[in-house]
Amino acid sequence: MKKIRKAVLPVAGLGTRVLPATKSVPKEMLPVFDRPAIQYVVNEAFDGGIEHIVFVTGRNKSAIDDHFDRAYELESSLLEKEKSDILHQLESERPIAGSMSFVRQQSPLGLGHAVWCARDVIGNEPFAVLLPDVLVKAKPSCIAQMIGTYNKRGGNIIAVEPIPRENVNMYGIIEPKERDGAVIKMAGMIEKPAVQDAPSNLSITGRYILQPEIFDLLNNQTRGAGGEIQLTDAMATLMRNQDFFALEYEGESFDCGSKQGYLRAFLQYALDHEQEGDAAHATLRRVLANNTV
């Protein structure tokens, strides 16, 4: 088996569910307490062993490129003012030179098309996909858990988590075939099934490990739901010839693509912050006390 070295982060979406906040700011750059959401996803990828990240961008996304570049004027100012702790923090999250690529998705043709746009950089090797709308708090990281499973099982891996049965019509849901602990061999998947038709309550989280054969399928994939090229359609086709495993990972996900999910993520990351967590708890208690009916 080839090592999982590269990850695709599709960041071309418009963020319509959190407008008007994203009218002029990429949704991936919205702050989640003390850093933009995209930084958490990138940290997860690199901490999990990924060596190279491919961003699939669109128009008005240059702030993402700039965020991961050096800011010479800012760094010089921090150095001059002897704010070494802040400077060290910026330097610690600066990616290694050559560890990122940026490719353009010229038209909003769906997640499957966005992944396909990264084909030449990925090449003929398995790769990870991390949806930047989804933050996952987990130790070890979600993608690290998935790579560990891949190293034992091979095939294709999808991260899943249990949700209340009454909410299955809001998510992609897997159809289990057989289970071995946290690893489930999949028989299929269905997008937003009716509650009575759902084959399980295990929802797809937004983390994938896929074999490179998916690119040929995406290249010939007809448009599906919403008139877009859907990644799930190509995965369903690939499942006929390759094993797909779902990993019920240990951790918690936050859908930052919705206003309530973003709020929940902001609060949780603030409360869990190593230096600022206690102060965040105190602030939240005061706010809640002042708004008690």
Q: Is residue 292 part of a domain?
A: no
Does a structural domain hold residue 293? Answer: no
Position 260 in a domain: yes
DSSP secondary structure string for all residues of 169-214: GGSEEEEEEEEETTEEEEEEEEES--GGG-S-SEEEEEEEEE-TTH
Q: What are the pLDDT digits (tens) for 79-107?
A: 888 888 888 888 878 888 889 999 999 88
Question: Could you tell me the residue range of the domain that residue 113 belongs to?
Answer: 6-287
Give the total number of structural domains in the chain: 1
Question: Which is it for the CA torsion 286, 287, 288, 293, positive or negative?
Answer: positive
Residue 116, H or E segment = helix 111-116
Q: What is the pLDDT of residues 210-263, one digit of tens each?
A: 999 999 999 887 776 666 788 888 998 999 999 999 999 999 999 998 899 999
Say which CATH number the domain at 108 has: 3.90.550.10
Distance CA 235, CA 240 (A): 9
In a domain? residue 35: yes
- Is 170 part of a structural domain of the chain? yes
